[in-house]
Amino acid sequence: MTIVDRKKDIIISVGEYIYSVEVEKVILNHPAVFEAVVIGVTDDKWGEVAKAIVVLKPGAEATDAEIISFVKEHLARYKAPKMVEYWDELPKGGTGKVLKREIQKPYWKDHTKAVH
Protein backbone atom coordinates (compact mmCIF):
# COMPACT_ATOMS: atom_id res chain seq x y z
CA MET A 1 0.00 0.00 0.00
CA THR A 2 1.26 3.47 -0.90
CA ILE A 3 -0.16 6.65 0.60
CA VAL A 4 -0.01 9.42 -1.99
CA ASP A 5 -2.09 12.19 -0.44
CA ARG A 6 -4.59 13.01 2.26
CA LYS A 7 -8.12 12.12 1.24
CA LYS A 8 -9.27 15.70 1.79
CA ASP A 9 -6.56 16.98 -0.58
CA ILE A 10 -7.45 14.71 -3.50
CA ILE A 11 -9.01 16.61 -6.39
CA ILE A 12 -11.62 14.71 -8.40
CA SER A 13 -11.96 16.19 -11.86
CA VAL A 14 -14.25 14.44 -14.36
CA GLY A 15 -13.86 11.21 -12.40
CA GLU A 16 -10.05 11.34 -12.43
CA TYR A 17 -8.13 11.55 -9.17
CA ILE A 18 -5.50 14.28 -8.96
CA TYR A 19 -3.17 14.07 -5.98
CA SER A 20 -2.23 17.60 -5.00
CA VAL A 21 1.07 16.57 -3.40
CA GLU A 22 2.18 14.88 -6.64
CA VAL A 23 1.49 18.04 -8.67
CA GLU A 24 3.11 20.27 -6.03
CA LYS A 25 6.33 18.23 -6.17
CA VAL A 26 6.57 18.77 -9.92
CA ILE A 27 5.86 22.51 -9.70
CA LEU A 28 8.51 22.87 -6.99
CA ASN A 29 11.07 21.51 -9.47
CA HIS A 30 10.45 24.46 -11.81
CA PRO A 31 13.52 26.72 -11.58
CA ALA A 32 11.48 29.89 -10.93
CA VAL A 33 9.31 28.46 -8.14
CA PHE A 34 10.07 28.94 -4.45
CA GLU A 35 6.83 27.53 -2.97
CA ALA A 36 3.66 26.04 -4.38
CA VAL A 37 0.39 24.55 -3.25
CA VAL A 38 -2.27 22.90 -5.39
CA ILE A 39 -5.92 23.06 -4.42
CA GLY A 40 -9.19 21.97 -5.92
CA VAL A 41 -11.57 24.73 -6.98
CA THR A 42 -15.11 24.47 -8.31
CA ASP A 43 -15.71 24.36 -12.03
CA ASP A 44 -19.10 24.33 -13.73
CA LYS A 45 -17.90 22.09 -16.56
CA TRP A 46 -15.54 19.68 -14.79
CA GLY A 47 -16.92 19.80 -11.22
CA GLU A 48 -13.53 20.46 -9.70
CA VAL A 49 -10.18 21.44 -11.22
CA ALA A 50 -6.65 21.89 -9.93
CA LYS A 51 -5.39 25.41 -9.26
CA ALA A 52 -1.77 26.16 -8.38
CA ILE A 53 -0.87 28.93 -5.96
CA VAL A 54 2.78 29.79 -6.59
CA VAL A 55 5.41 31.93 -4.87
CA LEU A 56 8.26 32.73 -7.22
CA LYS A 57 11.89 33.01 -6.20
CA PRO A 58 13.11 36.62 -5.80
CA GLY A 59 13.71 38.13 -9.24
CA ALA A 60 12.31 35.08 -11.05
CA GLU A 61 9.53 35.19 -13.62
CA ALA A 62 7.18 32.55 -14.96
CA THR A 63 3.91 32.57 -16.87
CA ASP A 64 0.81 30.48 -16.23
CA ALA A 65 1.37 28.65 -19.53
CA GLU A 66 4.97 27.88 -18.59
CA ILE A 67 4.02 26.38 -15.20
CA ILE A 68 1.14 24.36 -16.69
CA SER A 69 3.31 23.12 -19.55
CA PHE A 70 6.06 22.14 -17.11
CA VAL A 71 3.59 19.95 -15.20
CA LYS A 72 2.30 18.38 -18.44
CA GLU A 73 5.89 17.40 -19.33
CA HIS A 74 6.17 15.37 -16.12
CA LEU A 75 2.65 14.12 -15.38
CA ALA A 76 -0.48 13.12 -17.24
CA ARG A 77 -2.11 16.14 -18.88
CA TYR A 78 -5.28 15.89 -16.77
CA LYS A 79 -3.21 16.37 -13.59
CA ALA A 80 -1.90 19.77 -14.67
CA PRO A 81 -3.50 22.79 -13.01
CA LYS A 82 -6.01 24.63 -15.16
CA MET A 83 -4.96 27.95 -13.64
CA VAL A 84 -2.08 29.49 -11.72
CA GLU A 85 -2.18 32.33 -9.24
CA TYR A 86 0.91 34.10 -7.91
CA TRP A 87 1.19 35.18 -4.27
CA ASP A 88 3.95 36.94 -2.40
CA GLU A 89 3.78 34.33 0.38
CA LEU A 90 1.68 31.39 1.50
CA PRO A 91 -0.09 31.46 4.87
CA LYS A 92 1.55 29.16 7.40
CA GLY A 93 0.72 27.89 10.86
CA GLY A 94 2.97 28.01 13.93
CA THR A 95 4.92 24.95 12.77
CA GLY A 96 5.59 26.44 9.34
CA LYS A 97 3.11 24.17 7.56
CA VAL A 98 1.18 25.79 4.70
CA LEU A 99 -2.47 26.33 5.66
CA LYS A 100 -4.01 24.75 2.56
CA ARG A 101 -7.55 24.92 4.00
CA GLU A 102 -7.24 28.70 4.46
CA ILE A 103 -6.12 29.10 0.87
CA GLN A 104 -8.96 26.93 -0.42
CA LYS A 105 -11.73 28.40 1.74
CA PRO A 106 -12.65 31.43 -0.46
CA TYR A 107 -13.10 29.21 -3.52
CA TRP A 108 -15.72 27.07 -1.76
CA LYS A 109 -17.49 29.75 0.32
CA ASP A 110 -20.83 29.31 -1.48
CA HIS A 111 -20.83 25.50 -1.16
CA THR A 112 -21.91 23.37 1.77
CA LYS A 113 -18.98 21.00 1.29
CA ALA A 114 -15.61 21.25 -0.44
CA VAL A 115 -16.48 18.79 -3.18
CA HIS A 116 -18.49 19.78 -6.23
How many structural domains is the chain composed of? 1
Give Cβ neighbours of residue 98 (< 8 Å, ≥ 6 apart).
35, 37, 90, 91, 92
Q: Look at residue 101 and tell me if it is in a domain.
A: yes
Q: Look at residue 70 and tell me if it is in a domain.
A: yes
Determine contact, residues 66/56, Cβ cutoff 8 Å.
Answer: no
DSSP summary character for residue 31: T
Neighbours of 89 (CB within 10 A): 9
Q: Look at residue 1 and tell me if it is in a domain.
A: no
Say yes or no to pLDDT of 115 above 60: no
Determine contact, residues 42/111, Cβ cutoff 8 Å.
Answer: yes
Indicate the pTM of the whole model: 0.85
Q: Which of 16-20, 30-34, 43-47, 88-92 shows the lowest per-residue confidence on average (mean pLDDT)?
A: 43-47
Cα gap 56→28, rounded to integer Å: 10
Cα gap 99→66, rounded to integer Å: 25
Q: Look at residue 42 and tell me if it is in a domain.
A: yes
Per residue in 72-99, pLDDT tens? Answer: 999 999 999 999 999 999 999 999 999 9
Q: Which domain holds residue 104?
A: 7-108
The CATH code of the domain that includes 102 is 3.30.300.30
Q: Look at residue 115 and tell me if it is in a domain.
A: no
